[in-house]
């Protein structure tokens, strides 16, 4: 059975390679890989014994996990070089402030809207934390959640903002902290501004620096393209693992929360489309262009790993300015995540509030919750599990118990896929709107 499974897996990989070579359509091939992965994963779960399934997934994960690692490998060099290159091509440093303000404004405003939509979904579906029963796995998750909460309870907003400033950029390049990406953006921005300053004093020296940076940027961009061509295979393997390991009983038990979450996610995609439409951009054409990137974000559950795809999609397909594309992709991986830091913690806070005697639908509570969610979205790590961290920050700030975060652990991966796709789309929307507004 194991040999047959791996043979079928290898055969489909070859088929995907043939399709991509024949059509040269990455998005179409990625979608086919996603659907095939779901089908193969479901069959594996139903037809394989536990030992065979585990061994098969270990081998299959060489492709899925390997692809994610390759993307993670290029994230920091890409962020550093592309931000530096984009800034050295600006005419003046003032443009940098306009870009940052525009991108961050869109991210934070859409996160606040996402929180409000999450609140409405809880009301419409009548969701509550009362009566939920914790199993062995959920109790273990509660213990881990409470342990993480102890570490961040004393974390103030000033302390969080201070953590963005790098004290050792070389350590941040290794991804040492959850906020390393923002730290590298800040370091690259300062280095870029220094290059602009040098160009004002010495045009020849400034041009040589800009030429060297642009050469390095093209080298990294070529590396990124090599890795991105592997997307159909990575998505196929990742979807097999997801479908084969999801516990359908857990999904059915908490089906209302899953449905409410995905309706909220869908509504936010519509909000993004409306914002684009109001700015004179066709949402239909936009979503056609970004679909492969969203498919990878959905299957990988990592906003950070999607940064290379995000930047390439914005610059090559959407025509966004490189500086704006880089800022929105990198900021969007850790700030203003509409799904993980917007919808999810807001829904949990409203579900838990009645258990401690708070009316979750009072105007004062809703206003406080939306504000806390927006501010707390700073620095949420763009990896699987970032929503848990966001929920802990929000619930701790509001003085609410954290047990529900652990209780929902069984369905977390399933919802996290949709949330991650929304996070990435929020970043691309911020970049597209900013590029349009700033001309």
**What long-range pairs does 212-215 form, CB within 8 A, spacing at least 24?**
213/81, 213/84, 213/85, 213/88, 214/85, 214/88, 214/89
CA angle 249, 235, 339 (to 5 degrees): 65
How many other C-beta atoms are found inside a 10 Å radius of the C-beta of residue 204? 8
The pLDDT tens digits of the residues spanning 215-228 come to 888 888 788 778 87
Structure token pair of residue 30? 């990625």
Is residue 24 scored above 90 in pLDDT?
no
Is residue 139 scored above 50 in pLDDT?
no
C-alpha closest to that of 314 among 33, 113, 86: 86
Structure token pair of residue 27? 């998005």
Compare 150 and 16 and report the one with higher pLDDT: 16
**What long-range pairs does 58-62 form, CB within 8 A, spacing at least 24?**
59/6, 59/9, 60/6, 60/9, 60/237, 60/240, 60/241, 61/237, 61/241
Least confident range from 318-322, 422-426, 430-434: namely: 318-322
Mean pLDDT of the chain: 80
What is the spatial distance between Cα 310 and Cα 308, in angstroms, rounded to a whole number?
A: 5
Is residue 142 scored above 80 in pLDDT?
no
- pLDDT of 313: 92
Label residue 263 by pLDDT band (50, 70, 90).
Answer: very high
The pLDDT tens digits of the residues spanning 45-91 come to 877 777 888 888 889 888 888 887 887 787 788 778 877 877 777 66
- 132, burial (CB in 10 Å: exposed 0-12, middle 13-18, buried 19+): middle
In 301-411, where does DSSP find H-type helix? Answer: 307-312, 322-332, 344-352, 363-376, 386-397, 403-407
The pLDDT tens digits of the residues spanning 273-296 come to 999 999 999 999 999 999 989 988
Is residue 365 scored above 90 in pLDDT?
no
Taking residues 159-183, report their average pLDDT: 77
- pLDDT of 132: 52
- pLDDT of 332: 83
What is the spatial distance between Cα 53 and Cα 68, in angstroms, rounded to a whole number?
A: 21
Taking residues 390-403, report their average pLDDT: 72
Taking residues 332-339, report their average pLDDT: 80
DSSP-derived letter for residue 105 is H
- pLDDT of 138: 46
What is the spatial distance between Cα 230 and Cα 298, in angstroms, rounded to a whole number?
A: 16
**What long-range pairs does 352-356 form, CB within 8 A, spacing at least 24?**
352/129, 352/395, 352/400, 352/401, 352/404, 353/400, 354/128, 354/129, 354/130, 355/128, 355/129, 355/130, 355/401, 356/400, 356/401
The pLDDT tens digits of the residues spanning 80-131 come to 887 787 777 766 556 777 888 898 899 989 989 999 999 999 999 888 776 5
- Structural contact between residues 373 and 397, judged by C-beta atoms closer than 8 angstroms: no
Task: Provide the percentage of residues in the chain whose pLDDT is more than 90.
Answer: 15
Rounded to 5 degrees, what are φ and ψ at 282? Answer: -70, 115
C-alpha closest to that of 409 among 318, 348, 357, 337: 348
DSSP-derived letter for residue 335 is S
- 401, burial (CB in 10 Å: exposed 0-12, middle 13-18, buried 19+): middle
C-alpha closest to that of 332 among 421, 419, 428: 428
- Structural contact between residues 432 and 281, judged by C-beta atoms closer than 8 angstroms: yes
Taking residues 27-44, report their average pLDDT: 83
C-alpha closest to that of 375 among 331, 341, 405, 408: 341
Label residue 32 by pLDDT band (50, 70, 90).
Answer: confident
What is the spatial distance between Cα 238 and Cα 295, in angstroms, rounded to a whole number?
A: 11
- Structural contact between residues 224 and 47, judged by C-beta atoms closer than 8 angstroms: no
Taking residues 244-251, report their average pLDDT: 67
How many other C-beta atoms are found inside a 10 Å radius of the C-beta of residue 216? 16
Taking residues 186-207, report their average pLDDT: 85
Task: Find which of 4-18, 234-248, 401-415 is predicted with most confidence, using mean pLDDT.
Answer: 4-18
Give how far Cα 305 sits from Cα of 18, 81, 311, 424, 427, Å: 26, 16, 11, 10, 13
CA angle 90, 94, 99 (to 5 degrees): 75
CA 298 to chain centre: 9
CA angle 157, 159, 160 (to 5 degrees): 65
Taking residues 324-349, report their average pLDDT: 84
**Exposure on the CB side of residue 27, measured as CA atoms within 13 A:** 10
CATH of 2-438, picked from 1.10.3860.10, 3.30.70.330, 3.30.70.380, 3.40.50.300, is: 1.10.3860.10
- pLDDT of 136: 47
Torsion 88-89-90-96 (CA) sign:
negative
Taking residues 7-24, report their average pLDDT: 87
- pLDDT of 133: 47
């Amino acid at each position: 059975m194991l040999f047959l499974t791996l043979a079928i897996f290898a055969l489909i990989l070859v088929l995907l390679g043939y399709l991509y070579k024949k059509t040269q359509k990455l998005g179409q091939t990625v979608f086919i890989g996603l659907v095939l992965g779901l089908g193969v994963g479901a069959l594996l779960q139903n037809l394989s014994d536990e030992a065979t399934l585990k061994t098969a997934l270990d081998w299959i994960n060489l492709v899925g996990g390997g692809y994610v690692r390759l993307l993670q490998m290029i994230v920091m060099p890409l962020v550093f070089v592309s931000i530096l290159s984009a800034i050295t091509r600006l005419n003046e440093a003032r443009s940098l402030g306009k870009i940052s303000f525009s991108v961050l404004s869109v991210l934070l405003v859409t996160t606040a809207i996402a929180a409000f939509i999450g609140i409405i979904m809880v009301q419409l579906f009548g969701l509550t934390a009362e009566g939920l029963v914790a199993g062995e796995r959920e109790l273990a998750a509660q213990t881990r959640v409470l342990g993480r909460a102890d570490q961040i309870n004393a974390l103030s907003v000033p302390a969080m903002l201070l953590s963005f400033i790098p004290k050792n950029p070389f350590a941040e390049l290794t991804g040492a902290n959850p906020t390393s990406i923002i730290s590298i953006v800040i370091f690259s921005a300062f280095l870029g501004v220094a290059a602009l300053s040098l160009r004002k004093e010495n045009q020849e020296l400034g041009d040589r620096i800009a030429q060297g940076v642009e050469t390095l940027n093209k080298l990294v961009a070529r590396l990124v393209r090599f890795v991105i061509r592997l997307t159909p295979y990575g998505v196929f393997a990742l979807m097999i693992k997801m479908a084969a390991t999801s516990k359908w009983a857990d999904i059915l038990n908490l089906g209302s929360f899953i449905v409410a979450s995905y309706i909220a996610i869908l509504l936010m995609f519509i909000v993004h489309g409306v914002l684009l439409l109001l700015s004179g951009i066709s949402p239909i054409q936009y979503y056609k262009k970004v679909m492969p990137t969203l498919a990878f974000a959905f299957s990988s559950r990592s906003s950070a790993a999607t940064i290379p795809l995000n930047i390439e999609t914005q610059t090559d397909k959407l025509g966004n300015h490189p500086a704006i594309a880089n800022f929105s992709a990198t900021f969007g991986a850790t700030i203003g995540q509409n799904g993980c830091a917007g919808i999810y913690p807001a829904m949990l806070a409203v579900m838990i509030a009645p258990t401690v005697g708070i009316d979750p639908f009072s105007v004062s509570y809703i206003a406080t919750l939306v504000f806390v969610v927006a501010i707390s979205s700073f620095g949420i790590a763009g990896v699987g599990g970032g929503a848990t961290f966001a929920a802990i920050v929000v619930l701790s700030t509001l003085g609410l118990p954290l047990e529900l975060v652990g209780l929902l652990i069984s369905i977390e991966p399933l919802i996290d896929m949709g949330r991650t796709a929304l996070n990435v789309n929020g970043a691309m929307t911020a970049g597209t709107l900013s590029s349009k507004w700033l001309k």
